[in-house]
Structure 1
Amino acid sequence: MSVLFKTIAVFLFGLTAYSCFAHEVRPAYLQINQVSENVYTVLWKVPRTVDKVLDIQPKFEKTFDLKETTPPRILDAFVLYSYQLKGSKSLTNTEISIHKLNTTGIDVLVDIRLLSDIHHTFLLQPTKKTVLIPETPNKWTVAKTYIILGVEHILLGFDHLLFVLALLIITVGFKKLLKTITAFTIAHSITLSFSALGIANLPGPPVEAVIALSIVFLAIEILKLQQGKSTITSQKPWLVAFTFGLLHGFGFAGALQDIGLPQNEIPLALATFNIGVELGQIIFVIIVLALIKLIKYFIPQQTWLYKLVPYAIGSISAFWLIERISGF
């Protein structure tokens, strides 16, 4: 058990250093809508921080002319740019690239809608900043795009990872752990789907605050467990995982809303984003368990780590809670 806490302490140290970036890294978004023959409206949405906007721009072939139509606008964590794109031919079979994308660590979701009802979705990355627009869309491209976005969201969503980590500490036994992770998966899949389909929704800031509060709650439960007290979380971790998982699903939905969904492929994009989230979650659990097994013979027992870990989890999540409440 002490090995688990040693591994977690290392993870939390790095997490604390990165806590000011607790919100996941959002992708940029390029939306292109055809309005007439060889004429398009372009919406370019670039992530920003308090004092910095990424210096990246969409680039088209030389036969196209891109002109700004309205001044840039700030919307939450993004800056919005609006353009008109005109060319001597169709965008089909031409290349789109993102200038300087290779100097960043973010992705760009490209959404193209033509008058012929053809719809394209692509994911550009620092290592692949150019795409050739085909004549016909590929469903696998949409599926692959949203699987990658789902994996990235969970692996860069440190609050969600910290919640899963706390569940790993509390849950003893492989069968109980499998049951707990499954309950969490089912719960956030339900609310993610309901929110994305417009069936049910909750405002983002309160949801994010309660997600942080759920981690504080688990930190307190860990301390009680260490003191030999029986808690509902230690007895039925699957019930707690399911209850809070419903809220985490609304958090995932908020991220998906920022990313956007292709209107003619909503079921496919929603399903594959969810699959990506689950893959990312499984990757995280496997890595933590593998690290525990790897170092259990090399680190001597340090009983003080038992207390450090829940206090570190509680402190980080309490900071997020205060930060998110102050942002209301």
Structure 2
Amino acid sequence: MNLTQLKLFNELARELSFVKVAKLNHISQPAVSVHIKKLEHALGQQLLSRTSQSTELTPEGLLILEDVKEILRLCENIKVRADFSQGMLEGHVRVAAIHSVGMYELGDFLPAFMKIYPKVIVHLEYRHSDEIYEEILKERIDVGIVAYPHSRPGIDSIPYTEDELVLIAGNKHWISHKKTVSLQQINDEAFIAFGERIPTRIAIDKLLDDRKITVDIRMTHNNIYTLKKAVEAELGIAIVPAATVNEEVERGILKRINIKGAETSRPISILRQNNRKSSAPVNLFVEKLLTFNQHRKPSVTALKN
């Protein structure tokens, strides 16, 4: 029994696919099978049930899975602590964020963090909110960042920040000269919306429905960049997070208008699996991200403190 066998078993328990695990480790599928057979022989138990169509953990496999995860975590921490004792922190942090947060809330933080901790490799990807919850539970990512967090068994939600929803319009729209509007003023207006499953879209729909406001949806898209381009092209107005349009407002290509008489705050949270002990790089990443946000206009010095 060795660490390679335990690592492959842990990944098989997560992916339930010899093909995927082979690709992840850049080895052949038969090589993965050989490692698992040797592990099963060493333990005297069948850990995986394999058919031509599926792979499942046996009861014996399920029984040892948490111990395997703990062994791998401890081995990782031994290496991390050894490096840290020499003044060097090294490791990986897997992060998934919704697009409107990843681009606009993390854009200043990541370069500063990576400058101070060059040996900590941050893997950032953009995912839909519901996918991020699933990736956390499957341990495919270490940290998730979402808007309008909801309670989910097995996941801790750490409040990170709040953004504001604002109305945006192209320069030729009649509403563009206003600084504030009520929702009643946009009744029946041509509207550009997020996709229906997006939590921000759900919150905007509720905001409008509560006031019996109807808008004429001309286009929907999950990508905030595409929404902004549609508004810039005068296809309609939109309600978006304020932080996502700073650049366009400064350049004068979009108008940002505050919404009065409505609750428009958008909560953003950091997600982590609540029964998993994270590595030192992951813990440091979350700690510094929270500190960075408290400053809002932080510098590299803020990350060192």
TM-score of the two chains, using structure 1 as the length reference = 0.28
Greater share of residues in helix: 1
TM-score of the two chains, using structure 2 as the length reference = 0.30
Rg comparison, structure with higher value: 2
